Structure 1
Amino acid sequence: MVFKSINNRTPPYLADLLVRDVPSRSLRSSDLALLTVPRTRSRLKGDRAFAAFLGLPTFFPCFLSFLESEMNCYSLVRVPRNTVFLAPVMSVLKINCTITLYGCHRNPRVSWCKLYGDVCTSLNYSNHLRNEWTNITEHEGMTFLVFLNISMEDTGFYRCKEGDMSIGHAINVTVTVPTTVHTPPNDGLQWLWYFVYICSGIVGLVFIVMIVSFLYIFIRQDLQVKGDSSKEKLNKDVYMKRENNLGRNQAQLEELILLWKLQTNVTLNI
């Protein structure tokens, strides 16, 4: 209201109530844009008038500095594109975004919303949802949206905002249902199941070793039998060759004896 009144953006009856204070000599407060405080006679009505209240030396400079800081203040929300969070149902999930304030002398105004089509609806924080803030540096921090006992209805896209201008990319939250794993009944005999598993493993190992041993013995005997038969056949062939050679030698000897006899008879006859 004061800013508009000074810059002629309000009706004249308001703008005429504010008069800038122009000192008659050079003072250190000359550049503070002070207003002239009118004199009042009544504390109930005069001191509470528009011109008297806004013309206080302690109010207007602070208000101008606040306006100046707000005009130079801007924020940056950083969220990576295509960010996805997976969480099993009935678990705790934290999604986060980083916010940096530039030229601001105030606390961050963080809010979260959920996308329904093209409209981002603000979230209502409750026992199920919680917003947390952690400072990283003096002007930078990280905001967390905490889901307590997350459910399938929480699946969707979420965005974090700082003020009304800065907004981050959408964060995809996907809630999964864990698969059931069959476990043996816990009836006080849990140790017995481990004993059964260990014994089954030992029996299986012994069975495999026995099978491998039997196969090794069988194959070795088979190879030995084949080796013996081949040696016997080889010896038999050698024996037959020897017999054939002896027969041939004996026949040749008989032929030589016969020839010798014939030659002897011929010589005697002569």
Structure 2
Amino acid sequence: PVASCVPEIKVRKNTVYSASRERLLNISCPVTYCAEVPTVAWMKIDETSKYIPINETNHLTITQERTGLKNIISYLSFRNISTHNNGVYRCKIFSTNFSLESHNININVSDSSYLTSANNSTGFSETKSDVSWLLYVFICLGILGLVVTVMLISFLCINICSRNANSRRNK
């Protein structure tokens, strides 16, 4: 039997990207293909469920990279994203003998000035913010404090035990 190959778009259901106004947002569309590299197109679905093709502008670019044998990722990148970019997006792949659409990708743009995140149906959330480095600093300081405390307690216990041993020898 001949092994069949089925092209696949690996966008999870209920994918949500949240971004702050005037920030950069990259949306990815991972694709696995069989023989010929498919063309990837992006579209926005408006309130009337009409598909609007996405064209590149000064604030919107589409790029593609090969990530392995028979794997590519197409990126829809928003520069200075605005609330006008809120909505539902999809990527679509097509070739000479097939076409396939992704699940919906929801984009929520807020006026908040620090949040950019991606969330999908598994509940996993990835958050990138201007103050995210503070989390790493606090974690490192907490670990350092714990190590110093353990070392101090160990030193005191060894010191007290050696004093007790010396006082027993002197008696």
1:173–1:120 distance in 2 versus 1, CA, 3 Å: same
**In structure 1, how many angstroms separate the alpha carbons of the residues matched to 2:29 and 2:57?**
20
The aligned residue for residue 110 of structure 1 is: 40
Relative to total residues, which structure has the larger helix share, 1 or 2? 1
Q: What are the within-5 Å matches in structure 2 for residues 90-169 of structure 1?
A: 90-102=22-34, 104=35, 106-116=36-46, 117-163=48-94, 165-169=99-103
The corresponding residue for 1:87 is 19
State, as a whole percentage, how many aligned pairs show the same letter. 30
Distance (whole Å) between structure 2 residues aligned to residue 133 and residue 74 of structure 1: 20
Does residue 172 (structure 1) correspond to residue 106 (structure 2)? The answer is yes
Paired letter, 1:165: S
Tell me the TM-score normalised to structure 1 length.
0.37
Aligned counterparts of 1:157 and 1:93: Cα–Cα separation in 2 = 14
Structure 2 counterpart of 1:227:
none
Distance in 1 (alpha carbons) for counterparts of 2:63 and 2:5 = 23
Q: Which has the higher strand share?
A: 2
Q: Which runs of 5+ in 1 are unaligned?
A: 1-71, 180-270
Matching residue's letter, 2:37: N
Instruction: Render the CA deviation track for 1:80-136: whole Å, top value 9, x for unaligned.
Output: 11111011000000011211112x1x3320000000132221111111111111212
Shift of 1:75: 2.2
Stretches of structure 2 that go unaligned for 5 or more consecutive residues are 114-171
SS, match of residue 153 in structure 1: helix
Q: CA deviation at 1:74?
A: 5.1
Q: Matched residues in 2 for 1:147 and 1:176: separation?
A: 14
How many residues get paired? 107
Q: SS of 2:33's equivalent?
A: strand
Report the AA paired with residue 150 of structure 1.
I
Secondary structure, aligned partner of 2:18: strand
| Alignment CA distance shift 1:135-1:108 (3 Å) | same
| C-alpha separation in 1, matches of 2:93 and 2:76 | 14
- Give the counterpart letter for 1:149 in structure 2: N
Q: TM-score, normalised by structure 2?
A: 0.58
Alpha-carbon distance in structure 2 between the residues aligned to 1:138 and 1:108: 13
Secondary structure (helix, strand or coil) at the match of 1:136 reads strand
Give the aligned residue type for 2:74: T
Taking the aligned partners of 2:49 and 2:112, their CA distance within structure 1 comes to: 31
Per-residue CA distance 1:1-36 (angstroms, 9 max, x = gap): xxxxxxxxxxxxxxxxxxxxxxxxxxxxxxxxxxxx
Q: Could you list the structure 1 runs, at least 4 aligned residues long, displaced by more than 6 angstroms after superposition.
A: none
Cα separation, 2, equivalents of 1:111 and 1:73: 21
In the alignment, the residues of structure 2 paired with residue 74 and residue 120 of structure 1 have an alpha-carbon distance, to the nearest angstrom, of: 25
